[in-house]
Amino acid sequence: MADQTPVSATAAGTIDIGGDLTVNRLGYGAMRITGDGIWGEPADRDEAKAVLRKAVELGVNFIDTADSYGPHVSEILIAEALYPYPEDLVIATKGGLERTGPGQWPVNGRPEHLKEVCEGSLRRLKLEQIPLYQLHRPDPAVPYEDSVGALVELKEQGKIRHIGLSNVTEEQLRKAQRLTPIVSIQNRYNLGDRVSESLIDLCEQESMVFLPWAPLQDLDHSQTVREVAERHHATPRQIVLAWLLARSPSILPIPGTGSVAHLETNIASAGITLSPDEVQALSKATA
């Protein structure tokens, strides 16, 4: 990985979202360009915008955010840094969580709330239509069909192109699918947390995209990760991202960072090819 030419996200190959949006299969999660506790402004706005611009420069054309990141800060910075957007850039955002303080994420899946925050995202991102809008989390106080139904209405109005789900079970996915096509699932998934394993297989079978969040949690605790990293002269972070890319063609990793240096390191994982034995060993590893 000592090559002086930065690796591009194009090295990861491509994936189709909803059958009509083709993006490079290593994206960027824009949660970390906010302040501590994903609250307020970042310590350095210029650095945050530099990260976004560098991501695009390095071939990233899928950026994932949410109205609750900041709140609003992440979406505002994306527009400030990148608008007018490159023609191939796909911006995904989410609604369904409120913010009452640093690290606090009350759920709000009421249809009127979802419609309101979607309108806000459209304004902040300076978009006429959001390419992928995701329901951030099921609200136990609201029938799931009501929350998804609000997104269906927004789609019918042309305000969103495709609907995705986040933090869901297969049962919730099936409820949503009875109302509308679902093109993506964004759940927690990493070497140490495989609860969503069966959903990844479903995504493969049904041509959906799986967006793993928290992909790098606790990776330094795995001896296997360290050994494979040494073999490839890579970092543990890079090996875990390379494993996600190898785990399933439906996985679209979206590692996030507020640092240009970390961004370059993450994207360089697209250039790592793991052997089948290494993929198997990592898959058996526990973080």
Q: Give which of 100, 108, 106 is closest to 39, Cα–Cα.
A: 100
Q: How confident is the model at residue 1 (pLDDT cuts 50, 70, 90)?
A: very low
Question: Which residue out of 69, 133, 144, 189 is catalytically annotated?
Answer: 69
Ordered structural domains, the chain, with CATH: 9-217+248-255 (3.20.20.100)
Q: How far apart are CA 2 and CA 264, in angstroms?
A: 12
Give the pLDDT mean for 113-119: 98
Torsion, CA 282, CA 10, CA 187, CA 92, rounded to 10: 170
Q: How far apart are CA 95 and CA 204, in angstroms?
A: 25
Active site residue 189: no
Residue 216's pLDDT is: 79
Choose the weakest-confidence range: 126-140, 211-225, 257-271.
211-225
Q: Is 73 helix (H, G, I), strand (E, B) or coil?
A: helix
pLDDT digits (tens, 9 = 90+) for 219-253: 656 889 999 999 999 999 999 999 999 999 999 99
State residue 4's pLDDT score. 62
pLDDT per residue over 90-110, tens digit each? 999 999 999 999 999 999 999
pLDDT confidence tier of residue 284, bands split at 50, 70 and 90: confident
pLDDT at 2 (0 to 100): 46
| Residues contacting residue 24 through CB under 8 Å, at least 6 positions apart | 8, 9, 10, 12, 13, 14, 15, 59, 60, 61, 62, 270
